């Protein structure tokens, strides 16, 4: 059984392409984003559309490897491959790109991508708690705001930013509500469908319509849970997925887990709950740029050192979603997440007393059967 609303999300990506093309015909501006550290509020306040860019499929990787090393993260290669092949309609529609210095591979790739379209790279502090980090990141917010004003020949007012903050907080709360439906036991929605709906929402250019779609889906799934409807058996192991971001086209580990009998109920990664855990402070007496900087600086990505926030978020989700095990997914050559896996394993096994499995893979299907064997053995361990 599957929520009827998922049919809308299945078609949403194609509909979003038409919407973005019509927006361009009407002279509207578009800014493409790659990461959750990109402050969408400033883009919206500039009167532009903020849209997620493609980077979760295997197909463009070969083209990217003509310029990039093969032993590089597939997310970086896929993103660059989409850019140089012209196969991402959102990249084609974008007037400007915004990026950030999360990892070395990304920031060097952005140098090449910046030759294709105007790009602004935000210099992200590598430690949220270090002295001067908040001040530095606040200045980066001001720098990005000034760049948008110059490129679009607009003036971004404080009122514009506060209005955008309220809109983005509403979107985050709608997505929080959707994520929360998997707290029901058993979950009334598959992890794959939850992933697809959240990922597809990132390409939605009309924020109000997108919020309504998410709220409608959440309401339908809540009603399913109240009727006791679920695609899972009551004893299906409940899994928390942490690690690198996952999207449509790179969801093979989620599919393998659920094909093997598990229910993926929580996504700690930045394509899941990580960017939703904290809202932007709407206090009218607070400096609006500081409020933005605080929210985005405290996203617990593995590029941060130390990264205590990730442990705290995993612990919180593991408790709230009553998980039976944790799967830590690392894309090949993602060094920060790979090294941090040691810390996560220690925390999950010793502090949370939960089974833990670390998987390192890429976007290709070449290792699916090897992964299936490991996944099945992990689930047998949980059930045994």
CATH number (domain holding residue 10): 3.40.50.11890
Structure-token pair, residue 358: 């670390």
Does one domain contain both 148 and 258? no
**Does 169 fall in a domain?**
no
Three-state helix/strand/coil letters over 304-338: CCCCHHHHHHHHHHHHHCCCCEEEEEEECCCHHHH
* Residue 35: predicted pLDDT: 94
Does one domain contain both 191 and 242? yes
Please enumerate in sequence order all residues whose Cβ is within 8 A of that of 186, keeping only pairs 6 or more positions apart, or say none: 230, 232, 233, 234, 236, 263
pLDDT tens digits along 193-219: 999 999 988 888 889 999 999 999 999
* Residue 1: predicted pLDDT: 81
**Does 234 fall in a domain?**
yes
Distance (Å, rounded) from C-alpha 285 to C-alpha 274?
A: 27
The pTM assigned to this predicted structure is 0.96
**Does 209 fall in a domain?**
yes
**Does 13 fall in a domain?**
yes
Does one domain contain both 86 and 184? no
Number of domains making up the chain: 2
* Residue 204: predicted pLDDT: 83
Does one domain contain both 187 and 152? no
Residue 44, domain extent: 6-159
Distance (Å, rounded) from C-alpha 279 to C-alpha 263?
A: 28
* Residue 122: predicted pLDDT: 98
67 C-beta neighbours (distance < 10 Å), count? 12
pLDDT tens digits along 133-167: 999 999 999 999 999 999 999 999 999 999 999 99
Residue 248 main-chain phi, psi, to 5 deg:
-65, 120
Does one domain contain both 128 and 211? no
Structure-token pair, residue 285: 């007496």
Kindly tell me the burial class for residue 66, based on how many C-beta atoms sit within 10 Å of its own C-beta (0-12, 13-18, 19 or more). exposed
**Does 165 fall in a domain?**
no
> How many residues does the structure list for the chain?
384
Does one domain contain both 65 and 123? yes
**Does 166 fall in a domain?**
no
Q: What is the mean pLDDT of each run of 10 residues along the chain (384 residues)?
A: 91 86 94 96 97 95 97 97 96 97 96 97 94 97 98 98 98 98 98 94 88 97 97 97 95 98 97 96 98 98 96 98 98 97 98 98 97 98 93
Residue 383 main-chain phi, psi, to 5 deg:
-75, -25
The arrangement of strands across the sheet holding 30-33 comes to: 49-52, 30-33, 96-100, 119-122
Distance (Å, rounded) from C-alpha 172 to C-alpha 280?
A: 10
Does one domain contain both 276 and 134? no
Does one domain contain both 215 and 271? yes
């Amino acid at each position: 059984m599957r929520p009827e609303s998922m049919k809308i999300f299945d078609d949403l990506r194609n509909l979003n392409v038409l919407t973005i093309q019509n927006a361009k015909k009407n002279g509207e501006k578009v800014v493409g984003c790659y990461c959750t550290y990109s402050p969408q509020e400033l883009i919206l306040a500039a009167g532009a559309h903020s849209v997620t860019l493609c980077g979760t499929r295997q197909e463009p990787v070969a083209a990217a490897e003509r310029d990039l090393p093969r032993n590089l993260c597939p997310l970086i290669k896929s993103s660059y491959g989409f850019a140089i092949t012209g196969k991402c309609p959102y990249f084609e529609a974008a007037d400007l790109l915004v990026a950030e210095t999360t990892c070395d591979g990304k920031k060097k790739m952005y140098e090449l991508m910046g030759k294709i379209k105007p790009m602004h790279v935000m210099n992200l502090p590598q430690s949220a708690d270090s002295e001067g980090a908040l001040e530095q990141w606040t200045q980066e917010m001001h720098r990005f705001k000034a760049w948008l004003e110059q490129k679009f020949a607009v003036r971004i007012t404080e009122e514009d930013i506060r209005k955008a903050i309220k809109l983005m907080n509403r979107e985050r709360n709608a997505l929080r509500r959707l994520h929360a439906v998997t707290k029901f036991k058993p979950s009334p929605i598959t992890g794959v469908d939850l992933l697809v709906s959240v990922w597809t929402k990132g390409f939605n250019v009309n924020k109000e319509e997108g919020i309504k779609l998410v709220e409608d889906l959440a309401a339908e799934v809540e009603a399913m849970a109240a009727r006791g409807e679920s695609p899972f058996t009551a004893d299906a192991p409940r899994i928390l997925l942490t690690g690198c971001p996952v999207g449509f086209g790179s969801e093979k580990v989620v599919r393998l887990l659920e094909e093997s009998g598990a229910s993926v109920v929580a996504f700690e990664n930045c394509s899941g709950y990580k960017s939703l855990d904290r809202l932007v402070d709407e206090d009218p007496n607070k400096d609006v740029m500081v409020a933005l900087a605080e929210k985005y600086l405290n996203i617990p990505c593995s590029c941060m050192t130390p990264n205590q926030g990730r442990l705290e978020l995993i612990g919180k989700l593991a408790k709230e979603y009553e998980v039976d095990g944790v799967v830590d997914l690392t894309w090949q050559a993602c060094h920060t997440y790979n090294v941090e896996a040691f810390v996560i394993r220690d925390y999950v096994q010793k502090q949370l007393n939960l089974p833990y499995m670390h998987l390192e893979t890429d976007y290709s299907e070449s290792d699916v059967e090897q992964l299936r064997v490991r996944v099945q053995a992990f689930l047998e361990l949980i059930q045994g």
